[in-house]
Structure 1
Amino acid sequence: MKRTINIVTPDGKVPSWTYTPDTGNFVKGAVLFFMDAMGPRPAMDEMAQKLANAGYFVLLPDLFYRFGAYGPFSGSSFGDPQSREKLVKMINETTAAMTVEDTATFIAALEGEGYSGPYGVVGYCMAGRRALTVAARYPERFAAVASFHGAALASNGPDSPHLLASEIKARIYVGTAAEDGSFPPEQSTRFVDAFRHAGADFALESYVDMQHGWTVPDRDGVYDEAGADRHWRRLLQLFDETIR
């Protein structure tokens, strides 16, 4: 069941949505769900509700709230030059540091709903790096973190998530497309080396024949049902084993 809430941050109100099981399943714990680059939309609702129906309380905040009303966008919006220009601006100007600051209020919202944690966090596309970063910045609050087709997870930038490997206490799962320009092989190698040397509890899995965005139902020409099902099995196993 979906419910709309507003979360107040120092920078404004965050339109957000909570999801609980439609089937009356026992709620095992809470998960923070970070959207992909096209923002909240029916495809994100579908995914968040599916996670909720597996027995979780799910919170989906609009990470682009600082821009006010925008879009709506769809999974194919990057194919339109005007939409792509707007999205790139929003992605670049919504930094990981901003999401870290906002997460304090997201955690407070989860606590207000009666969930003390530890929590799970999952991010898709641009939010994969944000999920890893908040897990590092709030290590006592997150038991599990997952990234799917995350971009720039081991870049040369000073805020690259792989530099935070030693700070993450959560169990980590990273699912990558076999060929993804936003996370090329050299970054994959750098990521694995950093997390192995940090002694982190992590797994990085390459999804052969998948493309960036393969998990998201409205990504026309990219979504892959078998690959998406595999991603759900991995994600639910991660949360089922870590969130009590």
Structure 2
Amino acid sequence: MPTQSLQIPTADGVADAFAAFPADGERHPGVLMYPDGLGIRPVLREMAEELAGRGYYVLVPNPFYRHGPAPVLDLPEHIGEAARPAIFARLMPMIEAHTTDRILPDADAYVRFLTTRPEVGPGPVAVTGYCIGGLLATHTAAAHPGRVAALAAFHAPVGAAGPDSLHRLTARVHFGHAETDLTPEALAELNRTLDAAGLEYTSEIYPGTVHGFTMSDTDAFDPAALRHHWDSLLALLDRSLT
């Protein structure tokens, strides 16, 4: 599966990124994939290549490029619970600084870059993301209702986008929540907001999961939940982009 390192011009500089795409020389639907808070690393490359193998051009930016190119943090090969406190002590200031005055201009740059790639077809695009990346994906879809036809977010604090952003969505939506991330009552409240927005969506708790369940390099990984994630994501993309 071809991959390419890229530089995306933004309002604040240049974001490093990579893309994975089919090797057939054809144009394919574009997907903007935001990594989780731990950033671009081998597991994200594998996931992007998996998705590209299904016929999509997948662009994965480094959201924390202001702090340096990926990997912004030195990470162990397996991110176990013992390593997390030290990692998150360094990571949380970056996440907290990544407010909407950074998120939205960056989203503009990423969508513009993706939709002008010669390998990407002329139709709408999709955005997906994990953990904090799911929140970034939600903000991106809300800010680009005419361009983004599908939004997926996994173990992500999507409710933090706020009702105003959720009401601006026009994309088809799939939210896959970890069981430890929100209560059934919080899920019902979120889904009422999505209902009020008139969206075509699925928003569900993946049973027995903890935050980070898609990431095979962490203790949170759940193989069955990852398979459910792929089934849900690919079905969403097939309905929305092809």
Q: Structure 1-normalised TM-score? A: 0.89
Q: Which residue of 2 aligns with 1:148?
A: 154
Summarize the Cα distance change of 1:154–1:186 in structure 2 as closer, same or farther, 3 Å threshold: farther
Distance 2:150 2:21 in 1: 19
Specify the alignment match of 2:57 in structure 1: 57
1:27–1:55 Cα contact (<8 Å) kept: no
- Closer/same/farther in 2, CA of residues 42 and 239 from structure 1, 3 Å limit: same
- 3-state SS of paired residue (1:154): helix
- Cα distance, 1:98 vs. partner? 1.5
Q: Distance in 2 between matches of 1:80 and 1:51?
A: 28
Gapped runs of 5+ residues in structure 1?
none
Give distance in 2, aligned partners of 1:27 and 1:216: 29
Q: Is the 8 A contact 1:176 1:207 kept in 2?
A: yes
**How far apart, CA to CA, are the structure 1 residues paired with 2:96 and 2:237?**
30
| 2:60 is equivalent to residue 66 of structure 1 | no
Is the contact between residue 25 and residue 55 of structure 1 (CA under 8 Å) also seen in structure 2? no
User: How does 1:87-236 map onto structure 2 within 5 Å?
Assistant: 87-114=91-118, 115=120, 116-151=122-157, 153-155=158-160, 160-180=161-181, 183-219=182-218, 221-236=219-234
The answer to whether structure 1 residue 240 and structure 2 residue 238 are counterparts is yes
SS for the counterpart of 2:59 is strand
Shift of 1:128: 1.1
- Number of residues paired by the alignment? 235
Q: What percent identity do the matched residue pairs reach?
A: 31
Which amino acid letter does the alignment assign opposite residue 72 of structure 1?
D
Give the AA of the match of 1:73: L
SS in 2 for 1:231: helix
Structure 2 CA distance, aligned partners of 1:25 and 1:8?
Answer: 25
SS in 2 for 1:227: helix
What runs of 5+ residues in structure 2 fail to find an aligned partner?
none
Distance verdict in 2 for CA 1:27–1:51, change over 3 Å? farther
- For 1:206 and 1:28, the matched residues in 2 are separated by 31
Asked whether the 8 Å contact 2:130–2:154 carries over to 1, the reply is: yes
Q: Distance in 1 between matches of 2:220 and 2:85?
A: 18
Following the alignment from structure 2 to structure 1, what is the Cα–Cα distance between the partners of residues 222 and 80?
18
Question: What amino acid does structure 2 have at the position aligned with 1:32?
Answer: L
Aligned-residue CA RMSD in angstroms?
1.9
Once structures 1 and 2 are overlaid, which stretch shifts more, 65-74 or 2-11? 65-74
- Would the alpha carbon gap of residues 140 and 217 (structure 1) be closer, same or farther in structure 2, given more than 3 Å must change? same
Aligned equivalent of 1:83, options 73, 78, 87: 87
Aligned-pair CA distance for 1:198: 1.7
SS in 1 for 2:40: coil
Deviation, 1:232, is 0.2
| Alignment-mate amino acid for residue 199 of structure 1 | G
Deviation at 1:99, TM superposition (A): 2.0
Conserved? CA contact 2:115–2:125, under 8 Å? no
**Distance of 1:193 and 1:16 partners within structure 2:** 36
Q: Give the conservation status (yes or no) of the 8 Å contact 1:154–1:190.
A: no
Tell me how far apart the structure 1 counterparts of residues 163 and 80 of structure 2 sit (CA, whole Å).
29
Q: 1:97 to 1:243 in 2, by over 3 A?
A: farther
What SS does the aligned partner of 1:176 have?
Answer: strand
